[in-house]
């Protein structure tokens, strides 16, 4: 199908992703210098690197649909080229209705064209509105969605409240955040302002980022007497992604906000602990080495994966063949393993740097910890990361012993 004049007035090309073909901006045409980040220079945003994010989304939403065992509706209010919503309608069984939207007129026209290109006019509605306006119009009973997917520039926070209100009971919210400088503690102020929690620049700051976003979702949901469960998350490339299932009810909301608290961190010995005490009551001294401790939060201290949901996503992954299937398998294997592990992880290099030792193999460390009766799991957040209940000084001793016997 040729592109009608009205759909674009800028250079485009056709790409294939998953089972769909789409017209997208020809990124090369918008790159003036080699250092330019072409996706945001184009009049309509398109980033092929996010294919992995979209693939995992397809698997997660399919797992959700299969569990619901009925037809589901999905809203993607920040759609850009339409690629996500078009893939949802094409690749997820049991999704007769998808609503996509973008405030940018060029994006709206291109998304509309792409819907026609894939002959999905009957199943996908394309809107040209402000996302909050659109979501708010769907905040009443019988107008709500089973799933809302927020994939914004930067932070999803401006859209969280209306997205939560636009979800049916037991609905699923998926949100990407690319504003990792605030969330990982490089710029603390915007994180406190937007997410309501203090970040901390630690080796596990990406997990803190997931917990800060999750805490923010739970806090906003609770205002509407809605509880949340964080069923899946991942930290990949330049972004984090959180999947939260909501449940209506004041009691559910009360239960959910019981998961809020703080993570205390000692920059001297790397000890960390969770606390639900208000900050004024925190012990200032590290119980391991006596140094002053810093903190992150309030944030979500509860589970950030549901093991069963991880297994269901992994099962969906065996049913399809994506370009990224290998990477996804690895990620899902790690996520399933770490689902029930303690919060936060040590990064081996960080400890060995402190005590001037070579970095041992991750497998050796995991095995040694288990032999000593500790929990020990790798994590998808970091290839050198270890989730364990062993205290920081015990970790140091263990790494010394491993180095001595190597």
Write out the residues near Zn ion by the rule CB under 5 A. Answer: 266, 268-269, 271, 286, 288-289, 291
Nearest-approach distance from CB 83 to ligand SAM, in angstroms: 5
Which one of residues 60, 131, 177, 191 is an interface residue with ligand SAM (CB under 6 A)? 131
Contact of residue 264 among Zn ion, ligand SAM, none (CB under 5-8 Å per partner type): none
* Interface with ligand SAM, residue 78, by CB under 6 A: yes
Alpha carbon 39 to its chain's center: 20
Contact of residue 271 among ligand SAM, Zn ion, none (CB under 5-8 Å per partner type): Zn ion
Secondary element (H or E) of residue 145: strand 145-150
Q: What angle do CA 46, 51, 54 make, to 5 degrees?
A: 100
Nearest-approach distance from CB 158 to ligand SAM, in angstroms: 7
Contact of residue 17 among Zn ion, ligand SAM, none (CB under 5-8 Å per partner type): none
Write the binding mask 86 to 105 for ligand SAM: x where contact by CB under 6 A, - elsewhere.
---------------xxxx-
Residue entry with tokens 């509605």: 125
Q: Where are the beta strands (DSSP E) in 276-392?
A: 294-300, 346-347, 376-379, 382-388
Nearest-approach distance from CB 150 to ligand SAM, in angstroms: 9
Structure tokens at 391: 């205290």
Distance, CA of 161 to CA of 166 (rounded, Å)? 9
- Looking at beta carbons only, is 111 or 264 nearer to ligand SAM? 111
- Select from 43-51, 218-226, 338-346, 384-392 the region that touches ligand SAM (CB under 6 A): 43-51
Residue entry with tokens 């004041």: 250
- Looking at beta carbons only, is 131 or 173 nearer to ligand SAM? 131
Distance, CA of 115 to CA of 213 (rounded, Å)? 32
Contact of residue 130 among Zn ion, ligand SAM, none (CB under 5-8 Å per partner type): ligand SAM
- Looking at beta carbons only, is 287 or 358 nearer to Zn ion? 287
Which one of residues 10, 37, 153, 279 is an interface residue with ligand SAM (CB under 6 A)? 153
Structure tokens at 315: 């099962």
Contact of residue 104 among Zn ion, ligand SAM, none (CB under 5-8 Å per partner type): ligand SAM
- Looking at beta carbons only, is 163 or 286 nearer to Zn ion? 286
How many CB atoms neighbour CB 36 within 10 A? Answer: 12
- Looking at beta carbons only, is 39 or 378 nearer to ligand SAM? 39
Distance, CA of 334 to CA of 301 (rounded, Å)? 20
Q: Is the dihedral of CA 79, 84, 86, 88 positive or negative?
A: negative
* Interface with ligand SAM, residue 114, by CB under 6 A: no
Q: What angle do CA 50, 98, 45 make, to 5 degrees?
A: 35
Nearest-approach distance from CB 128 to ligand SAM, in angstroms: 9
Which one of residues 43, 94, 152, 360 is an interface residue with ligand SAM (CB under 6 A)? 152
- Select from 116-124, 150-158, 262-270, 273-281 the region that touches ligand SAM (CB under 6 A): 150-158
Q: Is the dihedral of CA 248, 253, 256, 257 positive or negative?
A: positive
Contact partners, residue 31, CB within 8 Å, separation at least 6 = 38, 41
Give 17's strand partners: 20
Integer CA distances (angstroms), 306 to 209, 323, 339, in order? 18, 26, 6
Secondary element (H or E) of residue 196: none
Structure tokens at 33: 């210098």
Which one of residues 73, 80, 219, 388 is an interface residue with ligand SAM (CB under 6 A)? 80
* Interface with ligand SAM, residue 179, by CB under 6 A: no
- Select from 75-83, 216-224, 267-275, 347-355 the region that touches ligand SAM (CB under 6 A): 75-83
Q: Which residues of the shown chain bind ligand SAM in the complex (CB under 6 A)?
A: 45-46, 50, 54, 77-81, 83-84, 101-104, 107, 130-131, 151-153
């Amino acid at each position: 199908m040729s592109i009608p004049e009205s759909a674009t007035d800028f250079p485009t090309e056709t790409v294939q992703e998953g089972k769909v073909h789409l017209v997208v901006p020809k990124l090369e045409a918008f790159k003036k210098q080699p250092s330019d980040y072409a996706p945001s220079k184009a009049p309509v945003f398109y980033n092929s690197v996010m294919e992995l994010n979209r693939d995992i989304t397809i698997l997660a939403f399919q797992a959700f649909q299969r569990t619901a065992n009925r037809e589901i509706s999905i809203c993607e209010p920040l759609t850009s080229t339409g690629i996500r919503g078009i893939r949802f309608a094409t690749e997820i069984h049991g999704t007769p209705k998808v609503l996509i939207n973008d405030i940018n007129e060029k994006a709206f026209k291109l998304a509309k064209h792409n819907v026609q290109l894939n002959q999905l006019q009957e199943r996908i509605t394309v809107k040209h509105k402000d996302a909050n306006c659109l979501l708010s119009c769907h905040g009443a009973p019988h107008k709500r969605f089973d799933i809302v997917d927020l994939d914004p520039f930067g932070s999803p926070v401006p859209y969280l409240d209306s997205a939560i209100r636009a979800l049916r009971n037991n609905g699923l919210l998926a949100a990407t955040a690319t504003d990792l400088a605030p969330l990982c503690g490089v710029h603390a102020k915007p994180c406190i302002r937007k997410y309501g929690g203090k970040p901390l620049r630690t080796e596990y700051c990406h997990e803190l980022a997931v917990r800060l976003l999750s805490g923010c979702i739970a806090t906003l949901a609770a205002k509407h007497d809605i509880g949340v469960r964080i069923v899946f998350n991942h930290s990949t490339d330049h972004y984090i992604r959180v999947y939260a299932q909501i449940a209506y009810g004041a009691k559910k909301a009360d239960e959910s906000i019981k998961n809020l608290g703080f993570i205390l961190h000692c920059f001297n010995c790397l000890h960390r602990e969770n606390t639900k005490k208000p900050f004024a009551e925190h012990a200032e001294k590290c119980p391991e080495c006596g140094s002053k401790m810093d903190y992150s939060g309030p944030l979500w201290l509860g589970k950030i994966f549901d093991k069963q949901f991880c297994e269901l996503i992994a099962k969906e992954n065996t049913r399809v063949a994506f370009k990224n299937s290998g990477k996804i398998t690895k990620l899902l294997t790690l996520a399933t393993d770490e689902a029930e592990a303690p919060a936060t992880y040590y990064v081996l290099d960080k400890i060995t740097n402190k005590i001037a030792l070579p970095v041992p193999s991750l497998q050796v460390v995991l095995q040694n910890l288990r032999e000593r009766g500790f929990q020990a799991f790798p994590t998808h957040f970091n290839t050198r990361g270890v989730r364990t209940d062993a205290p920081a000084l015990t970790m140091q001793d263990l790494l010394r012993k491993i180095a001595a016997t190597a």
